[in-house]
Structure 1
Amino acid sequence: MNYVQPIRDPELITDIKKYLRETNERNYILFVLGINTGLRISDILKLRVKDVRGTHISMRETKTGKQKRILINPTLKNELKGYIEGKDGDEYLIKSRQGYNKPISREMAYKLLNQAAKVFGLEEIGTHTMRKTFGYHHYLKYKNIALLMDIFNHSSERITLRYIGVNQDTMDNTLSRFSL
């Protein structure tokens, strides 16, 4: 498995959102949902319309089996409003065009994100990029690694810092100024 990176540049995030909005609304919602909630792709793909109609997403995480409750922030709420309007509550949020009411596969989600990444010349991008992007920018804004560790259900702050790429940034910064 390749190691993926967060998208660190806020302007690039804006450009990717604009590109996805113009090319495919479903893919746009996938991306916006991922970077605003920090959910794993396996949890995003099992969401149904009824799961995002309230103020929170309540779910049991696929990987950990733990119950999770995530606030739908105003930005995400606004983006979801038009997307889910008129849809049946049992319809998958990120619905496949194949078959009747099935979500897209993890592989398709990866493919869609990588297509967008290629447009912007990004490498080391995968479905976890959305989760890592959420974590990276949440940490930069609040500097609360303990809270982020809880959000991600990680066992240590060290794991969370490495996961979101902050340790890599620190290493890159020190190495760029180091020479013998």
Structure 2
Amino acid sequence: MSLKNSTTTADYIDFDRASNVASKLLKEPKTVLIGKYIIIAMNTGLRCSDILALTCEQLKQPSVTITEGKTEKKKTFAVNDAIRAIVPADATGGLFITQKGGIISIQHLNRLLKDAFAKESKTLNISSHSLRKSFGRRVFFNNGESEKALVYLSDLFNHSSIAVTRKYLGIRQDELNDIYLNL
């Protein structure tokens, strides 16, 4: 579903599709960095800048508390098995260090994501923010598409209301599209 020309610019990627792409990318040394990014992004719902600042030491803990760059609010998230599996036991320091020794830029990361999701990029606006939305959509569907899920997501995303979260996830538009498609 494309949300181009609406107030949100990034489209979500199907969670299972993103998982499959990440698994393939993790197997190749040249693409392992983007594979790790996908796994962490779709399992935490964090913004790109917050993910890039994470360290191996943090992700070896049962939970991580960060101060979000955009909102400057504290956020705590549990480190699940999918994330734990991609952090080598002996690894230290930043996870997203390039060959030149710096942290990968968001612009370069977005180019890598467009390449990784080339099929989707033909019709969708894919960016680092897409995986945050994928996380949100997964939480929403796993919790029965309930208002309760939207309340949780609104809190997780630091949105001002569940109406903002609903619009952010493109839920209302999906429902309207279903009406037309099921006539």
Q: For this structure pair, what is the TM-score category when the shorter chain's length is used for normalisation?
A: 0.7 to 0.9
Write the distance in 2 (CA, Å) between the matches of 1:77 and 1:9.
18
Write the distance in 2 (CA, Å) between the matches of 1:174 and 1:32.
33
Write the distance in 2 (CA, Å) between the matches of 1:45 and 1:3.
21
1:137 equivalent in alignment to 2:138: yes
1:1-180 paired onto structure 2 within 5 Å? 3-8=9-14, 10=16, 12-23=17-28, 24-80=31-87, 82=88, 85-88=89-92, 91-98=93-100, 100=101, 102-118=102-118, 120-122=119-121, 123-142=124-143, 143=146, 144-177=149-182
The alpha carbon displacement at 1:59 in A equals 0.5
Which one is further off, 102-111 or 58-67? Answer: 102-111
Write the distance in 2 (CA, Å) between the matches of 1:44 and 1:9.
18
Which stretches in structure 2 are left out of the alignment for 5+ residues? Answer: 1-6
- Against the structure 1 CA distance between its residues 129 and 138, is the aligned structure 2 distance closer, same or farther, given a 3 Å change threshold? same
TM-score between the two structures when normalised by the length of structure 2: 0.85
AA aligned opposite 2:48: I
Q: 1:83-103 CA distances to partner (integer Å, 9 max, x unpaired)? A: xx3223xx21111222x3x21
AA aligned opposite 2:94: Y
Among the aligned pairs, what percent are the same residue? 25
Write the distance in 2 (CA, Å) between the matches of 1:53 and 1:141.
26
CA contact (8 A) 1:16 1:116 kept: yes
User: Structure 1 or 2: larger helix share?
Assistant: 1
- Against the structure 1 CA distance between its residues 169 and 2, is the aligned structure 2 distance closer, same or farther, given a 3 Å change threshold? closer
Query: How many matched pairs?
Result: 169
Q: 1:25-52 CA distances to partner (integer Å, 9 max, x unpaired)? A: 2211110000000000010011122221
The alpha carbon displacement at 1:78 in A equals 2.3
TM-score between the two structures when normalised by the length of structure 1: 0.86
| Structure 1 residue ranges (4+ consecutive) displaced by more than 4 angstroms after TM superposition | none
Which one is further off, 168-177 or 123-132? Answer: 168-177
